[in-house]
Every structure is written in C-alpha cells, then in structure tokens.
Amino acid sequence: MVKLVLVLGDQLSSGLSALREADKSRDVVVMAEVADEASYVRHHPKKIAFIFAAMRKFASRLKDEGWTVEYTKLDDADNSGSIVGELIRRAEAHGATDVIATEPGEWRLISLLEESPIPVHQFADTRFIASHKEFEDWAKDRKELRMEWFYRQMRRKTGLLMDGDDPVGGKWNYDHENRKPPPGGIDFSGPMQFTPDDVVEDVLDLVERRFDNHFGALRPFWFATDQEQARRQLTRFVKHALPKFGDYQDAMMTGEPFLYHSLISFYINAGLLDPMEVCEAVEAAFRAGDAPINAAEGYIRQIIGWREYMRGIYFLEGPDYTTRNGLDHTRDLPGFYWGDETKMHCVSQAVAQTAEEAYAHHIQRLMVTGNFALLAGVDPHQVHEWYLAVYADAYEWVEAPNVIGMSQFADGGIVGSKPYISSGAYINRMSNYCKSCEYKVSKKTGEGACPFNLLYWHFMDRHRARFENNPRMGQMYRNWDRMDDDRKETVLKEAQDWLSALDKGALV
C-alpha cells in the first residue's frame, strides 16, 4: 500500500526520519508551498523566498535520488492552501490511506497533523542531539533548568571539545572572554552571497507578487538555497570569521550588520546543514590551531547547548508556552518595530537591519529590541509573533523560548534566573550606536535623557515586589534606594511621560 511521506519546509535533510521509514520504490513524498504556512504570521519576504526556493531544490534532489515527489507550488491552480488539504488531495490521487511524517517543530502543526482525517504517523526528529525523553529526564526533579548544566551533558555526549572526561583547556565555558566592545573596524566582508539562479528568481517573482505587503525587503536576495551552498558558507565562516567570532560576538556597530557572525542558523534550522557537521568543523579549526578556544567553545555552546536547550524547553512546557505573560505586560508593540521612525538609534539600527536582511544577531535581539520591549511592558505574545515573523531563522521551537523565556521573562523564570534588562550603559559599552543617537546615554533625567535609563528604573520600581529578593538583582535595588526621593520621583515621572508619548504615537 502506498504511503505519503510529508516533508516540511524546515525538514530539508536527506537523513530525515520520515524518509528513512519510507519505501523509495513505493511511497510518495509530498511537499507543498501553502498560503497557511506563509501567512499565519506575516513572515519576512526573504524568509518565505528562502524556504520556498530551498524546498524546490530539495524536491529536485529527492527526484534525482529516485523518489516519487508530488510538489505543489504556491500559485498552482489546484493548491488547497494548507498542509492537510494537500495531504488529502495527494492521498486521493494515489490511493494512500496513511501518512509518514517527521514531528514538526511547532505545536500548531503537530496538532493539525494529529487532527488530520488521514492518519499521520509522526516520527521523532532525530536531527537533534537530545531527544524529548533525554531532556525530560535531565529536567526531572531539578529546581532550576539552567542551560549550563545541560550543555555540559551535551559536551560529554558528543565528545566535542573534550579530552577524555574533561573539557579541553580545563574549563567548560569561556564566555567571560567573549564580551569585547566593538573594534575599530571589521576585516571580514560578511557571509558568502549567492547570485539567484533561475529557480530562486522564479520564487522571488512569486513572493514579490503575493507578499508585497509583508514587512521587509525581498531584494537583494543572497541566501544559500541548497546544501552545497550552505556548506560553502560554513567553510567561509570557519576559515575567515571564526577566529574573531568569540571576541566580538556581543558587539554591535552602526552599518555593520554581520561583524564576525556565521549566518548559518538559517541553514541549520531549515535542515540544509547538520548541527554536528557544523560543530565538528569548528572543533577541527580549533584543534588545527586556526581558531582560539574561546571562539570554538562559544560557537559550539550556541548549537549543542543553547539551541538544544531551547527545543527542550519548548516541548517540555507544552502548547500554552507562547501565551504566558508572567509580568502581566499589555502595551502594544510600537510601530517602530515595523519601520516607523524612532529617535532611538540602537532600535532603528536593529529594526532597519532586520527589514533589510531578515537577520540580527543575538545581542541585537536580546539587549536592544527585546530589552526595550521588556522595559516598556509590551505584550510578550506580540513580541513573540514579531520575532517569529521577521527573522529567517525563526521557527517556533527555537524562537518562543528565546523570546517568551529569555527575552521577555514571560515564563516566570524557567529559562532565565532574572530578567535580561539594562540601561543605556550596556548598549553604549557593547556598541557604537550611542554616538549617533539623538538621546544622550550619559543623561539619566531631563531633556534628551536616554529612554533606556529612565525605563530601566521604571521597570525595577513597578516590579519590585517580584524581584527585590532576587540575589542577582538585590544590588540594583540597593542602588535605587540610595537615590534621594526627589530624584526617584523625577525618574519615574519622566519615564511615565515618555511611555505616554509612545502610547499616543508621538515620535520618540
């Protein structure tokens, strides 16, 4: 009996569990570009184009390998518009009565497949290092689910950067060496940029027609769209950028969107690169003396530590995770997240870069756009949907814990032991943004005071009952208490006035 084999747009891997379970001589692979998946949030045009182009090329590769593939393009006349609709249509055409699938990385899709009128057997996604059960076993009975302890388990499991039972260099973590402010200049020209071929150009024309009202620039488009191209970008990063990645991974610079970052999360998360393949390339560079330990360890930690931990948290916490709002924040996401003008140079830089590239690095996301949203009390679900929409590497399993948990503290402290908030001082230390800002980072109050300075204390004051006994925040409350009453009153009033202006749509 013929079975359908569903392959989703972020499952573009030859070793996919659904493909391993199928019979190439009999079963039919189903792939589909559907309106539901492109628009359930208003995805960045570059993200849509990347996924569609990579899907088309992966489908061609499967055909070359001998698979029968039924592929639906977005503008096909008989496109049903949904994944389940396409499964029904293809099942009728081939007389199939059930479907093989690899578990999606989103509760929404898992539920859709479970409710499908055609039975869908979902196999574990074995492209990850830790299974759901492995993470659950690690998390069981722990009072705190801190990533560092999980990361060490993943190091031992994979053997990456290990000397027997001990970490290379005698330490598990070299993060304290990876916090240098921006250098005077960048001697790396950025990621490899690929000229669109005919397949990509067809997709770009399609996306231009169908999603011209989505936030972000479609062209120029330079992403890798197949495994060979993605591997070339990996090689370029390891050779030319990895040596300085660690030092400057937290730095931010006006007009420098890429610095020494790899820009391969797009490709790992879509399945074009295997995470262990990437980590092994980074480790090989270290062991050959071509990259320092702080760079190699810091990069590998992002993949086998943070990436795996995020997935573990997402599935451990369940389908309601994205609705959590532990701090009861209700402010609407400001228009400048969608490109409206703002006088905050750091925010405008991060948003403009996001619009242009569908990319911003982790500190821009956490300590600029995320930090502002948290300080201002923005509804975390709106923040979550923005991040899911605008970044080409964003899939809910990895994006939601980063935003709901780490960035917005909306999960009540499962991911982070304290909120990731800062005044303008942190942004000034780690970037050159403040030099070009209309606000003055050195001003705490008064005309031209940096909003991050005002909102930092406003956040601390309004959430005092929750955080004053947090051992990582106690010192800041003691600093606040040492201020005289008049100054505290001025800070809180100016912060509230600024937020009121924001709510009224004023240019802030």
DSSP 8-state code for residue 120: E
**Beta-carbon neighbour count of residue 140 at 10 Å?**
8
Q: Are residues 24 and 140 in the same domain?
A: no
Q: What is the CATH number of the domain that holds 486?
A: 1.10.10.1710
Q: What is the pLDDT of residue 180?
A: 96
Q: Which two tokens stand for residue 506?
A: 């004023």
Average pLDDT over residues 161-179: 95
Q: Are residues 278 and 402 in the same domain?
A: no
Q: What is the pLDDT of residue 41?
A: 96
- First vs last C-alpha separation in the chain: 63
CB within 8 Å of 210: residues ≥ 6 apart = 38, 74, 75
432 assigned to some structural domain = no
Average pLDDT over residues 152-159: 98
265 assigned to some structural domain = yes
286 assigned to some structural domain = yes
Cα(96)–Cα(75) distance, integer angstroms: 25
Check residue 23 and give left, alpha or beta (phi > 0: left; psi -120 to 50: alpha).
Answer: beta
Query: Model pTM greater than 0.95?
Result: yes
**Beta-carbon neighbour count of residue 406 at 10 Å?**
23
DSSP 8-state code for residue 129: S
Q: What is the pLDDT of residues 81-124, one digit of tens each?
A: 999 999 999 999 999 999 999 999 999 999 999 999 999 999 99
Cα(390)–Cα(358) distance, integer angstroms: 6
Q: Among residues 257, 286, 317, which one ends one of the domains?
A: 317
Cis peptide bond upstream of 257, omega within 30: no
Q: Which residues pair with 162 in a beta bridge?
A: 167
Q: Give the C-alpha distances (Å, rounded to integers) separating 145 from 132, 150, 222.
A: 15, 8, 38
429 assigned to some structural domain = no
164 assigned to some structural domain = yes
The continuous run of DSSP H or E covering 363 comes out as helix 362-363
Q: Are residues 457 and 487 in the same domain?
A: yes
Q: Among residues 317, 333, 368, which one ends one of the domains?
A: 317
Q: Are residues 103 and 153 in the same domain?
A: no
Q: Are residues 341 and 279 in the same domain?
A: no
Q: Are residues 151 and 268 in the same domain?
A: yes
Q: Are residues 492 and 374 in the same domain?
A: no
The continuous run of DSSP H or E covering 100 comes out as strand 99-102
For all residues of the chain together, what is the average pLDDT?
Answer: 97
Q: Are residues 173 and 284 in the same domain?
A: yes
430 assigned to some structural domain = no
**Based on the structure, what is the number of domains in the chain?**
4
Q: What is the CATH number of the domain that holds 352?
A: 1.10.579.10
Give the pairing type, strands 28-32 and 68-72.
Answer: parallel
Q: Are residues 253 and 265 in the same domain?
A: yes
Residue numbers of the domain that contains 451: 444-508
CA angle 388–452–330, rounded 5-degree value: 50
At 29, the amino acid letter reads V
Average pLDDT over residues 46-68: 98
Q: Are residues 111 and 226 in the same domain?
A: no
427 assigned to some structural domain = no
Q: What is the pLDDT of residues 279-319, one digit of tens each?
A: 999 999 999 999 999 999 999 999 999 999 999 999 999 99
CB within 8 Å of 508: residues ≥ 6 apart = 342, 343, 344, 451, 498, 501, 502
Q: Which of 35, 32, 25 is nearest to 91 (CA)?
A: 32
Q: Are 309 and 147 in contact (CB under 8 A)?
A: yes
Q: What is the pLDDT of residues 438-466, one digit of tens each?
A: 999 999 999 999 999 999 999 999 999 99
Q: What is the pLDDT of residue 283?
A: 98
Check residue 141 and give left, alpha or beta (phi > 0: left; psi -120 to 50: alpha).
Answer: left
Q: What is the CATH number of the domain that holds 81?
A: 3.40.50.620
Average pLDDT over residues 330-335: 98
DSSP 8-state code for residue 141: T
Q: Are residues 137 and 267 in the same domain?
A: yes
Q: What is the pLDDT of residue 325?
A: 98
Q: Are residues 354 and 300 in the same domain?
A: no
206 assigned to some structural domain = yes
Q: Among residues 414, 433, 458, which one ends one of the domains?
A: 414
Q: What is the pLDDT of residue 331?
A: 98
**Beta-carbon neighbour count of residue 280 at 10 Å?**
15
Give the pairing type, strands 166-167 and 162-163.
Answer: antiparallel
Q: What is the pLDDT of residues 400-416, one digit of tens each?
A: 999 999 999 999 999 99
CB within 8 Å of 70: residues ≥ 6 apart = 28, 29, 30, 31, 90, 93, 94
Q: What is the pLDDT of residue 111?
A: 98
Q: What is the CATH number of the domain that holds 218?
A: 1.25.40.80
Q: What is the pLDDT of residue 474?
A: 94
* In the chain, % of residues over pLDDT 90: 100
